[in-house]
Copies of this chain bind each other. A is one copy, B any other.
């Protein structure tokens, strides 16, 4: 469960805006209450993806799109739901493909906090020849 202390600690280091740092300022802002930095939501999502997506060479994003339809709040439990949208063999590199993955980060009620689409280079397994 994400708590206010974690939200404020991340914001103090990377996104020090009042609505991510201070409860009263956040209540008066367009967020209408303390909200995590979107980069915090993205980083927490990455953590979950690293722990769950089995790509042997790792998860490396070449380019991506990101949207935050709803604020991430203290007390929320985040989950990620991902799907592979496309696997496109590289024209120039025969051992490589570009995998497009679409991920939704949702809260405990299923509300979507972040939509994240990423293109990742993926390499074919090496094979022994004889």
Residues on A lying within 8 angstroms of B by beta carbon are 13-19, 29-30, 37-39, 42-44, 46-47, 50, 57-68
Contacts and interface: CB of A to CB of B under 8 A. Distances in A.
Given A30-B57, A42-B42, A43-B43, A16 B50 contact: yes
Contacts of A68: 61-63
Dominant SS at the A interface?
mixed
A39 B43 contact: yes
Nearest to A25: B58
A15 B60 contact: no
A14 B47 contact: yes
**Count of this chain's copies in the oligomeric assembly:** 2
B43 A15 contact: yes
Contact of A66 (B46, B58, B64): B64
B43 A58 contact: no
A38 B119 CA distance: 13
Contacts of A42: 39, 42
B14 A58 contact: no
Given A43-B14, A47-B13, A47-B16, A62 B58 contact: no
